Amino acid sequence: MHRALLMVAAFCAVAHSTVAFTVIPALSLPALSNQRAISPTLREFRLALGGDEGSNTVTMSRRKVMQNGVAAIGGIAIGMSSSADAEELASGNYKLVDIFRECKDLGVVRFLSVNPYGAVLEALGKLDYALVPFEIPMGKSKGQYVRIAGPNAEEHLVANFECSINLDNAATLAFDKLNGPTGELYSMRIMNADGEKILSILLNYDIDGNDGKPGKYYPGAVDKWLSLRSTYADINGDVDLRA
């Protein structure tokens, strides 16, 4: 019997593409209120898996942990995805997931996240990737998540793009049209209940289809974005994800 809990390494991958903006305007992106997650203690793991609270000895095997559907990534306990989780997403309980499923025709999009401690992460991906549910059952990061997972890279058994979103924190999806230096920009911004931005997803220029120049989007992408806004958003372009 192993005496340590299973720890799963977190993989980070950057979407590989030659398609990119050549000019990105300075967007107004206030800092996110992102707090350090509390790592679960061994005692919390034992209790979560039905262990004895009074025992100071961990006698849980790796197989036992996996059978109970619990793992840890970066020190955070997570519940492994199951058919029940998939049904939760498929049942229409999360409007954001329903909208994502209608975004398959947007082509390559740009994911933009701002860390309040001084980092901005940008990656190119698609919204026709697989939607994989999982849950973090404890700590400040707890909630039902959906992972947007691209195909595995041929040389490694890891997706070449992954982005995970806490659906329980997502309160508003804002469809915003902005004026950029090379034309209009089309953004979908996921915000929490306090109006702080969790993630921005922007239509990306079709550089390859425009002789290497910005300003032109993938065929049908803008029309689809406008259709989604008309279907789901209010007059201000906001979608109440909790309605």
pLDDT tens-digit readout, 115-145: 889 999 999 999 999 998 999 999 889 999 9
Provide the sign of the torsion angle of the four alpha carbons 190, 78, 45, 83, taken in this order: positive
Convert the pLDDT of each residue in 151-160 to its tens digit.
Answer: 877 766 677 8
**What pLDDT was estimated at residue 17?**
35
Convert the pLDDT of each residue in 57-71 to its tens digit.
Answer: 444 444 443 344 444
Convert the pLDDT of each residue in 104-117 to its tens digit.
Answer: 999 999 999 998 89
Would you call 159 exposed, middle or buried from its count of C-beta atoms within 10 A (0-12, 13-18, 19+)?
A: buried
Both tokens of residue 84?
């029940």
**What pLDDT was estimated at residue 73?**
47
**What pLDDT was estimated at residue 214?**
87
pLDDT at 78 over 80: no
More confident residue, 220 or 151: 220
Tell me the C-alpha to C-alpha distance, in Å, between residue 136 and each of 18, 77, 122, 171, 206: 34, 6, 24, 18, 37
CA atoms within 13 A on the CB side of 40: 25
DSSP annotation of 11 reads P
The answer to whether the CB of 48 falls within 8 A of the CB of 138 is: yes
**What pLDDT was estimated at residue 194?**
95
Convert the pLDDT of each residue in 171-219 to its tens digit.
Answer: 999 999 998 888 899 999 999 999 999 999 999 999 888 888 888 999 9
pLDDT at 86 over 90: no
The residue among 82, 243, 107, 118 whose CA lies nearest residue 171 is 243
**What pLDDT was estimated at residue 69?**
45
- Note the Cα 99 to chain centre separation in Å: 14
Task: Give the separation between CA 105 and CA 161, rounded to whole angstroms.
Answer: 18
Both tokens of residue 206?
């079709």
The answer to whether the CB of 199 falls within 8 A of the CB of 112 is: yes
The answer to whether the CB of 61 falls within 8 A of the CB of 51 is: no
Convert the pLDDT of each residue in 23-47 to its tens digit.
Answer: 333 333 333 233 333 334 444 434 4
- Reading phi first (left if > 0) and then psi (alpha if -120 to 50, else beta), residue 139 is in left
**What pLDDT was estimated at residue 33?**
33
Task: Give the separation between CA 141 and CA 132, rounded to whole angstroms.
Answer: 17
DSSP annotation of 41 reads P
Confidence (pTM): 0.66
26-46: b (≥16 Cβ within 10 Å) or e? ebeeeebeeeebeebeeebbb
β-pair partners for 131 = 148
